[in-house]
Structure 1
Amino acid sequence: IDDEVRAQESLRLADERLARALRAASLSELSVSIAHELNQPLQAVVANTGAFQRWLAADPPNFNHASRVAQKIIRNADAAAQVITRIRALFSKTEGEPYAIDLNAVIREVCDLLGDRLASSSVKLDLQLDPGLPTTTADHVQMEQVVLNIVRNGIEAMQDVNINVRSLRIVSRRQNDETVEVEVRDSGRGLGDPERIFEAFYTTKPDGMGMGLAICHSIVEAHRGRLWAENVETGGASITFSLPICAADSTKTSTGATVGV
């Protein structure tokens, strides 16, 4: 009986240690996720502030360009504020109101935000957006983050290929299963393990944290969608996500105001 009691006590202590380890791992993953989400808009604020100063310091000062950069800084700061808002909503378990958003508009906004990055990386952008694309119910900022992460991932995937073949194709389309799809296809060297790229902390980049695509996966799933990746036979990789088409009379249309989902 004593041996059985000791065995049960050892099992209980092992379970407690495992539970503590899992809680610590979850907290660590959450902390990295929050840091990753905040790092992106804050880095953009720093970069755009430098550009703002350069335009003002030019001789003569270019106020038109400075004004456009200032608008980007405002959007970046608002994106950081939205991250904090969503985190607070997450811990208070409050649900946001859904909005009907235009994914084509989100794609164009992201391409505008990454315009300088595309140009400096010598990446040719090919937009093939369905003009009749239906709206989908989603958080505008979160969808912008998904597209931003995937597009940035595509740009980085082509850093070690010849600049003459660097192209990024973004396609939006309606599918017969009442979903809308967005595909981002690069001309890089392809994915070593397409099944693992959405795992938290998995990365092939020396300075990467492995959270960008994992966050995208969580966001898309939270919107009842799918996200997948595959290598392209002609070279490069393709990352695609799909979301349900929303009912036209059940949601409000958003032009940028967002709430947590």
Structure 2
Amino acid sequence: MEIKGARGEGSGGSPYFFPVVAFIMAAPIFAVDTLTPLDTAIAVLYVAVIMPSAHFLGRRGVLAVSGGCIALTTISFLIVHRHDWDSSALVRLGVSLSAISITSILTLRNQQVTSALRDQANLLNLTHDAIFVRDMADRIIYWNQGAEQLYGWSPAEAVGQTAAGLLRTRFPDTPASIQAALLADRQWSGELVHFKRDGTQVIALSRWSVQMDKAGRPVAVMETNNDITERKHSEAMLQKAQAELAHAMRVATMGELTASIAHEVNQPLAAVITNGEAGLRWLGREVPDLGEARASVERMISSGKRANNVIARLRALARRDDPDHMPVNLNEIVEDALMLVQREADSHSVSVGLDLKASLPDISGDRVQLQQVVINLLMNAIQAMAGVSGWARELSIATREAREPSGTDIVTVEVRDTGIGIDEQSANQLFTAFYSTKKEGLGMGLSICRSIIEAHGGRISFETNADHGVSFTVGLPALKDPVP
């Protein structure tokens, strides 16, 4: 922010404007010092000419004005005391010259500091980031060009306003909590919602830094904001596209599992018919056996509920809903997924072994999406063993509770097969979109699985077994036990 008239430019645009003003200001002082018989150091008043010069003149200009004041003081002394150099007059001369010299030195130093601050402020204007400084009462005291370009208010309009009021800030937490975190760490970062002068909403990645005085008290906060509105919009569109692709893969998987689905639904429906017929026989006897008839009806109800549960899970798998995170148990997800692929395993002569840890902690996640991941891993394992001969086709599923080196408690599920394994080239591209080791594969299954797991804050990995096949491991953060 360049000060108008600096470096010798007068307010009227002429480089001689202030020197003329300085001469006009110095002339009365010289006249009083020379023509009046006052026994005081009148020349000290020249400091009133030197101090304002720093605002209008450069270093050389200030030195010229100071030299001129010293010259006028000396000339006045020589005129008045050319025949009488008494000690009191010399003392007054020394006081005047000392005052002028000290004032000149302090003025030049202050000018240098002011110039450095001005240069630093100009550097902040070079960045495209929106930067402003506010005091601890949230009043804006500095507003750079980046802030003006982003929000639409000029520095003159913004300075003095409260930042939260001007920008209509929406915070991710209460302002008091954010302020407490800022004072504790001397910095804070997060996403804020602001509104421009024209009412347009802006999502800003905001970074705050607090300035302390020598006593360790907070005096100001510098806020740097980056406009990430387009990025957030792109992320939302990407998440929507991923969700739709994941839904398409679920529907495709259900097509592959048609036989298993039909089997799971037909079993309880057949049981309903069988128990219904048995109930009618018990009631049709000469002496109706009401106990057996009631038991048949109860079995019918149980089978009906089982069929209803199967259909409900299938509808959830086929439905296209937004992710709904809630506490879920990984063992239940594995059991539901295994129910749907069991017939596929039987048709490929694959024996399934379960090793589910009891009392497994819950995780936070979307049940349907996590079920999709497990089904995909199980189907891949079964299909990987389709061409195996010479050793047993075994599918092992295990859940465990573990702790990472960082101290985070996780829940894991391992899917282990004894298939043909994965070559080194395929291993490097296994999670790459549109890459598949199967001729009819789309190459999206594992890529979607990784996206789902990472969105849940977890990780998915694989390793080649020592004997045959591959093991895939999914790790997800465990929910902490509620505080009693």
Normalising to structure 1: TM-score of the pair?
0.70
Structure 2 gap segments, 5+ residues each: 1-237, 276-299
Name the residue aligned to 2:253. Answer: 40
CA distance in 2, matches of 1:224, 1:240: 14
Where does 1:110-259 land on structure 2 (aligned, <5 Å)? Answer: 110-162=337-389, 165-177=392-404, 178-192=409-423, 193-249=426-482
CA distance in 2, matches of 1:148, 1:105: 13
Pairwise CA distance, 1:78? 2.6
Structure 1 gap segments, 5+ residues each: 1-25, 90-95, 251-261
CA distance in 1, matches of 2:411, 2:336: 18
Pairwise CA distance, 1:174? 1.0
CA RMSD across the alignment: 3.2
SS of 1:195's equivalent in the other structure is helix
Candidates 78, 83, 91, aligned match of 2:316: 78
The one-letter amino acid paired with 1:85 is: D
Name the residue aligned to 1:5. Answer: none
1:168-189 deviations in whole A, cap 9, x for unaligned? Answer: 0111111122111111000001
- Distance change in 2, residues 1:130/1:116 (3 Å): same
Normalising to structure 2: TM-score of the pair?
0.39
CA distance in 1, matches of 2:370, 2:241: 24
CA distance in 2, matches of 1:108, 1:191: 27
The one-letter amino acid paired with 1:151 is: L
CA distance in 2, matches of 1:164, 1:103: 30
The one-letter amino acid paired with 1:186 is: D
CA distance in 2, matches of 1:72, 1:216: 23
- Distance change in 2, residues 1:226/1:54 (3 Å): closer
Name the residue aligned to 1:12. Answer: none
- Distance change in 2, residues 1:56/1:161 (3 Å): same
Pairwise CA distance, 1:205? 0.7
- Distance change in 2, residues 1:201/1:148 (3 Å): same
1:81-106 deviations in whole A, cap 9, x for unaligned? Answer: 1xx112xx7xxxxxx4x311110111
| More off after superposition, 34-43 vs 144-153 | 34-43
Pairwise CA distance, 1:121? 1.2
Count of residues paired in the alignment: 213
Larger relative contact order (Cα-Cα within 8 Å, sequence gap ≥ 6): 1
The one-letter amino acid paired with 1:229 is: F
CA distance in 2, matches of 1:141, 1:28: 17
SS of 1:41's equivalent in the other structure is helix
- Distance change in 2, residues 1:130/1:31 (3 Å): closer
The one-letter amino acid paired with 2:479 is: C
1:42-90 deviations in whole A, cap 9, x for unaligned? Answer: 5546863588679989xxx6577x9555653342123211xx112xx7x
- Distance change in 2, residues 1:182/1:46 (3 Å): closer
Indicate the percent of aligned positions where both proteins have the same amino acid: 32
CA distance in 2, matches of 1:146, 1:229: 14
- Distance change in 2, residues 1:101/1:173 (3 Å): same
| More off after superposition, 195-204 vs 210-219 | 195-204
Query: Does the CA-based 8 Å contact 2:392-2:418 persist in structure 1?
Result: yes
The structure having more radius of gyration, on CA atoms, is 2
CA distance in 2, matches of 1:53, 1:150: 25
Query: Does the CA-based 8 Å contact 1:44-1:73 persist in structure 2?
Result: no
Query: Does the CA-based 8 Å contact 1:72-1:113 persist in structure 2?
Result: no
The one-letter amino acid paired with 1:168 is: L
SS of 1:128's equivalent in the other structure is strand
1:210-232 deviations in whole A, cap 9, x for unaligned? Answer: 11111110000001101011111
Candidates 334, 356, 359, aligned match of 1:107: 334
Query: Does the CA-based 8 Å contact 2:376-2:445 persist in structure 1?
Result: yes
- Distance change in 2, residues 1:173/1:47 (3 Å): closer
The one-letter amino acid paired with 1:189 is: I
Pairwise CA distance, 1:209? 0.4
Name the residue aligned to 1:255. Answer: none
CA distance in 2, matches of 1:141, 1:71: 14
CA distance in 1, matches of 2:359, 2:242: 39
